[in-house]
Structure 1
């Protein structure tokens, strides 16, 4: 073999261009680190056993609301937003992935699931009889948390935000469907599978327990009608009106923004007003500064680690018409 042939083979292995050579050097550096780092452990991602590196996030970033982690895998990994990660006998869900400028590996943020949600699909339990691990977030503190009953009485009206992986069964969940969380009944008022690719988030509102319909022991609402071949009660939510929210699509960290909402029917604005504002915010990115029946003002935390996060602004009329607007969190520069 001639010297020129040997040289060309060696250069092809290192890379045919300066970029390729530098990328290959970075990839070899990552591979060496990945193979030897102390926080490398075996996990199962969507049923596939593989190696991953798990790193702590500072709990001060989310006011210690959850023990979130970073997960780092090789590029060949099947990990994506909405994936389940089984690690140390616990179930975690992938919420955000990071687009690497130098794609030597994959990196994402995960949250530990905190509840198993079950509902009936025909006479069978969803998720092949096991239900779905979900991340549930109490939203009552982000809203007024109350609704009217009768002329003058006020009743507690708790809100929850539920996050599930986006698949055929979870997309088929209807508005008005009821689920059980912590022994309480909640009704699905709104669902959004656009804001976060791979995850569906549902806004839930507290409902009443029905002994002849709900099975608290199994944790399944409308269980008895399903096993008896009956249709669940029709709980329509909203109508042909729509709530349109006007405001920025990208919010810079450290800044304050105002969003306005109006209620429309066939393109004509109505006199209906907003009774509640909610922020779907899993990473404690935004706080409500001011709100009324037309607008809400929010402040984005000044923290570069929040860049790439997604929040959803949700507005609801008193009689249950809901609209939403996803907002991407970006750098101030």
Structure 2
């Protein structure tokens, strides 16, 4: 084999070895320089406590963070709480074998809106008033925003990605609506372009800084047990709760129960009461920002708390029918029983607005038919069990199709 071939191979290895030596030397030098200027800080990244070592420089609320490569986990869209301020990572520098860099901008505005479920959402964001960088944060070149325009950058998450055009916000006592969205899901950011809009004093809540406040869901929390509720030791009971949103019952509400005296009674996440000893206490029932108290007295004698509910439509159109189902409870536990339905006006008098066309006492159902004589109003559907101890009712509106 040609000796020149071996010489070329040896030279290649020598060059490669020199390159590795140079890279290691440079990496060590940068690491020494980095460590000499390093600052160890306690932060929260996406609400998780962390301690990181950084070298940073700040300019106009824009922070350039340099970390060692082994801490290369700051990504666009990350929320960083540092020194009582919230920062949003808006840019990740290209990978570097020597050092890792990211750009953070200080959040200067809490973006608030009513989502499609009627709930208030609030997230810290970066609001650009007159101009914003269009060429990266290290250059001084900027893009002027037209009068009456704003731009917002916010973390991409399950709520912000649902923001669509024409969603309105209150910014500095002015109304703005979304005219363009840029969902940079791969970069963890959502960019919103806003245009000025008219304030509507009927719909907008300037005090809270929330536009279209009329879309906020109205919740009701109903405890169907007797209050106070009398129980006895060794008795099983359940807190029977209904949660309504805008007049309609939520099928699977998020409810929290807490006992003020767990030595006396405890309550699980389903509202089942476990009695430990006699005495008096109360349970707090919480759902969607509403709290109610149920006072409980545990006595040595057995007590029965009967209740009944009716499920079905809130409205029936003229000459139409709707079916309703009753449920019976004893101390909050559902029981089997026979039912009897009846209809009245709001004042309890007989009604001509609707009639019961059929009912099944065993299945606990009935069918209500609205009148065909164009009579509109509200009726009360009543139900009771066989012994008359469990009673319930439901308001039904008779409405016109027009």
**What TM-score does the superposition give when structure 2 sets the normalisation length?**
0.42
What per-residue deviation string (whole Å, max 9, x for no partner) do you get for residues 85-122 of structure 1? 2221111111221113x423320122111101011232
**Counterpart of 2:69 in 1: which secondary structure?**
coil
- Residue 132 of structure 2 corresponds to residue 142 of structure 1: no
Q: CA RMSD in A?
A: 2.9
Q: Which residue of 1 aligns with 2:157?
A: 167
Aligned to 1:67: 61
Q: What is residue 103 of structure 1 aligned with on the other side?
A: 97
Structure 2 counterpart of 1:80: 75
Match of 1:190 in 2: 180
Contact 1:161 1:201 in 2 (8 A): yes
Instruction: Quote the offset at 1:216 in angstroms.
Output: 2.1
Residue 224 of structure 1 corresponds to 214
Q: Structure 1 residues 144, 106: closer, same or farther in 2, change over 3 A?
A: closer
Q: How does 1:284-303 map to 2 (within 5 A)?
A: none
Contact 1:67–1:111 (Cα < 8 Å) also in 2: yes
Q: 1:125–1:26: structure 2 CA closer, same or farther, 3 Å change rule?
A: farther
Structure 1 residues 110 and 144: alpha-carbon distance in aligned structure 2, compared to 1, 3 A threshold: closer
Matched, 1:214 2:204: yes
**Per the alignment, do residues 45 and 20 of structure 1 end up closer, same or farther by CA in structure 2, a change over 3 Å counting?**
farther
Matching of residues 224-303 of structure 1 within 5 Å: 224-228=214-218
- 1:55-108 Cα deviation digits (max 9, x unpaired): 225x5xxxxxx23221112334331112122221111111221113x4233201
Cα separation, 1, equivalents of 2:56 and 2:172: 30
Question: Which structure: greater strand fraction?
Answer: 2
Partner Cα separation in structure 2 for residue 50 and residue 137 of structure 1: 30
Q: Is the 8 A contact 2:129 2:145 kept in 1?
A: no
Q: 1: CA distance between counterparts of 2:179 and 2:52?
A: 39
Q: Which whole-Å deviations, capped at 9, do the CAs of 1:207-255 have from their partners, x for residues lacking one?
A: 122222222222221223222467xxxxxxxxxxxxxxxxxxxxxxxxx
Output the CA distance in 1 between the equivalents of 2:184 and 2:38. Answer: 37
- Distance of 1:124 and 1:76 partners within structure 2: 40
The answer to whether the Cα contact below 8 Å between 2:85 and 2:106 also exists between their aligned partners in 1 is yes
Structure 1 residue ranges, 4+ long, deviating more than 6 angstroms after superposition: none
- State whether structure 2 residue 123 is matched by structure 1 residue 132: yes
Aligned residue number for residue 119 of structure 1: 113
> 2:42 matched to 1:42?
yes
- Which of the pair has more CA radius of gyration? 2
Q: Distance in 1 between matches of 2:112 and 2:84?
A: 20
Q: 1:20 to 1:123 in 2, by over 3 A?
A: farther
Q: Secondary structure at the match of 1:171?
A: helix
Instruction: Judge conservation of contact 1:161–1:203 (CA < 8 Å) in 2.
Output: yes
* Counterpart Cα distance in 2 of 1:34 and 1:222: 50
Q: Is the 8 A contact 2:109 2:125 kept in 1?
A: yes
Consecutive unaligned residues of structure 2, counting only runs of 5 or more, are 1-15, 132-142, 219-244, 247-402
Write the distance in 2 (CA, Å) between the matches of 1:202 and 1:196: 16
Q: CA deviation digits over 1:267-297, x for unaligned, max 9? A: xxxxxxxxxxxxxxxxxxxxxxxxxxxxxxx
In structure 2, the CA distance between the partners of 1:74 and 1:191, relative to structure 1 (3 Å rule), is: same
CA separation in 1, counterparts of 2:79 and 2:166?
Answer: 27
The CA distance in 2 between the partners of 1:163 and 1:200, in whole Å, is: 6
SS at match of 1:119: strand
Q: 1:19 to 1:199 in 2, by over 3 A?
A: farther
SS in 2 for 1:211: coil
Residue ranges of structure 1 left out of the alignment (5+ in a row): 1-15, 60-65, 146-157, 231-333
